[in-house]
Chain A
Amino acid sequence: GDSVTQMEGPVTLSEEAFLTINCTYTATGYPSLFWYVQYPGEGLQLLLKATKADDKGSNKGFEATYRKETTSFHLEKGSVQVSDSAVYFCALSYSGGGADGLTFGKGTHLIIQP
């Protein structure tokens, strides 16, 4: 079946450091890919998405590129802030989350220190 693998962390960085959170997937078809973020005590919020190979999703300084050849969707940010501390989830869906639900990775806990 389909699956998503991501580094679990916690990942601890200093403010203004460069961030990379790795995500790879296995899928039988050509899914859409997502990054969701969960702040303490809250539900998940969509951070960015990409629906086909070579698409780049971006939002709030975060970026991720859909790489079919390496089945990857790594999340990057050039300069992190304390407010970016959260849990980040990589996910895939065939209907783009339309009606089939999402397959998630285990989540990566990111801690940014001042």
Chain B
Amino acid sequence: ETGVTQTPRHLVMGMTNKKSLKCEQHLGHNAMYWYKQSAKKPLELMFVYNFKEQTENNSVPSRFSPECPNSSHLFLHLHTLQPEDSALYLCASSQGQGGATEAFFGQGTRLTVV
């Protein structure tokens, strides 16, 4: 148990569906992140939120829409995805700028787009 919980663990969706991934951290951290893990590629940082404000968007397509209503919760809203978006989506949190160095990861959501 790392203190970062992601739901669902597995998700299969069609290209016309709309779904959301949820991440919750119980560590009192102020920064939260979404990463994409695809086979044979490095983990890709998608979005960064620090004190609920989005501070980084690494050229992610608009079919991925993040939401951070408070420092403990992070969502990734998905719509009209493509099969190449199938991957493991990892959420992480850390204390935030000026804080400690360690990032804690959730177990991930395995997404399959059909």
Name A's B-contacting residues (CB within 8 A).
4, 32, 36, 41-46, 49, 51, 89, 93, 95-107
Chain B nearest CB, measured from A72 CB (Å): 17
How many A-B pairs have beta carbons closer than 8 Å: the answer is: 74
Query: Could you list 21 A-B pairs, sorted by A, with CB under 8 Å?
Result: A4-B42, A41-B107, A42-B107, A43-B90, A43-B105, A43-B108, A44-B43, A46-B103, A49-B102, A51-B101, A93-B101, A95-B101, A96-B101, A97-B94, A97-B101, A98-B98, A98-B101, A101-B33, A101-B48, A103-B45, A104-B43
Contact B45 A98 (CB under 8 A): no
Size band of the interface chain B makes with A? 20 to 34
Q: Which residues of B have CB within 8 Å of A100?
A: 48, 56
Chain B nearest CB, measured from A75 CB (Å): 16
